[in-house]
Each structure stands twice: as C-alpha cells, then as structure tokens.
Copies of this chain bind each other. A is one copy, B any other.
Amino acid sequence: MPRPARVSYHDIKRAVTSRIQSRIWPQGTLLPTEAQLCAEFGCARATVSRALRELSDQGVVTRKRKSGTRVAILPPERARLDIPVTHRTVEDMGAAYTYALISRAEVATPAWLTAAIGAQENAPALHLTALHSADGAPFQLEERWILIAAVPNVREADFAAITPTEWLLAEVPFNDAEIAFSAIPADGNLPSLLNAAPGAPLFRLERTTWLEGAPVTRVHMTYRPGYQMRARY
C-alpha cells in the first residue's frame, strides 16, 4: 500500500486505532515509543506525538512520562454531550419556538439551594420560571435562581424579551458548571404547565454554574413527557 508523500498525524491515529481495534495491540499493551513509531512511519516525532496526544484526549490510550503509552483498559465510555440552548433545540426539530416568562420575584435563596451550591445563607436571588414551547405546545419548563450578588445588573434585565439562558450567556462569564440528569414525577404545577398526567415521569436537567468559585445561577429544566436527550460519540 503506497503511503502518502507526507505522513499526517491523521494517518497515525488511524493506524494506531486500527491496530487496537483488530486486537494486534490488546488492551493494556505498551505501545512502541514515539521514537520507534516515527521511525516506522517515517515522520517527525512531533507528528507521532500529536496523534498520540489526541488519542489520549479521547481516552483510547493512556500516557505517562517515562513509562510510555498504553492501550486504555476499559475505555471509560466517554460521551461528549452538546446541550444547545432550548431555542435551538426546538428549531432543530423543525418547530416554531416561543417563550413566555411565567413569574419573576426576588427571594432569599432557599436553604436546600445554599447548601447544594455553596452560597451564603439567605443570599438574595432572583427567582424565575419560564415556559419554552414548540409549535405552541409546552416543551420545557425552566425554573431558575440567579444570585444577585454575582450579577447585580440582573435587576435591569427584561426577561420577557430574552430568555434567562441567553441573557446570562451574553452577560456573565463562568468558569465551572455541573449538570445532573434525573427522572422526576410531574407534581405541583408541572402537570398543567407541561400538559402531563399527574405523577408522570419527566426528564429533568439541573445545571449550576460558578464564577471564580462563587455560585452564579442554578436552573432546573424539566422537559415535556417522553423527551429523550441524545448524543453520539
């Protein structure tokens, strides 16, 4: 098989993954050193290095100085999940997106929340609920707390005109976030707002974001009955 005039790091990635998948290098195997590989492929060490670094980022191999590079044991099923803003999710389904603010109030952060995110007791927060709809049918209910200390100008934001998610993305940088997925029963005002049978299972995404270690906002996004969140990898 003729090899291209110049060997790309893509070629090396392909060759290595192929040997791993065909069990030429079973899991746990120590693979040749960068120097050996670049001799084999006839390219610079930087090229091999980049290929192996990217495979390491993907979790296909693990690398350690001096020890060398090994085929990862139990590839840790790593999925990259893109969570677009609801606006886009709905439009990608080919539906018309509409948004309505349901409630807005300044409150003291509830105790369960301060404990969960590491905020000060009774820190003032803006509490919002909003409904995102697809073709007029309820799609997602958003319940959000924004810590006013973290974003003082949130008081001036007009959340009837722009969704909290989009306002925050535009106004507030954040370093760190945590998400959690769970299944919850439709209770409280969920059945009527999301057009669900009482007690019906609903998919919920919770996200908390921090800036420099200080909590900024927490959101609960509860989807309409039957919603599935998907990802490929």
Give A residues with C-beta under 8 Å from B: 20-23, 27, 74-85, 166, 169-170, 173, 175-185, 199-204, 206, 226-233
Taking CB atoms, residues of chain B closer than 8 Å to A78 are: 80-83
Please measure, in the bound complex, the distance between the C-alpha atom of A202 and the C-alpha atom of B183, giving whole angstroms: 5
**CB contact under 8 A between A184 and B201, given known A177-B232, A177-B233, A179-B230:** yes
Given the known A-B contacts A74-B169, A199-B199, A202-B183, are A230 and B178 also in contact in the complex, defined by CB atoms under 8 Å?
Answer: yes
Given contacts A176-B232, A181-B181, A182-B227, 8 further A-B contacts (CB under 8 A): A22-B173, A27-B170, A76-B82, A76-B83, A77-B85, A78-B83, A179-B233, A199-B199
State whether A80 touches B82 (Cβ < 8 A).
no
What would be 12 A-B contacts, judged by CB atoms less than 8 Å apart? A21-B175, A77-B82, A79-B82, A176-B233, A178-B230, A178-B233, A179-B232, A180-B228, A180-B230, A182-B227, A183-B203, A201-B201
CB pair A166 B74 closer than 8 Å: yes
| B169 A75 Cβ-Cβ under 8 A | yes
Q: Sorted from nearest, which 3 A-B pairs have the closest CB atoms?
A: A201-B201, A183-B183, A21-B173
Which chain B residues lie closer than 8 Å to A23 at the CB level?
173
Are B229 and A182 interface neighbours, CB within 8 A? yes
Closest beta carbon of chain B to A48's beta carbon, Å: 16
- CB-CB under 8 A from A203, the residues of chain B are 181-183
Also in contact, A232 and B82, with CB within 8 A (given A74-B169, A173-B21) = no
Smallest distance from the beta carbon of A215 to chain B beta carbons, Å?
Answer: 14
Option from B77, B82, B182 in Cβ contact (under 8 Å) with A228: B182
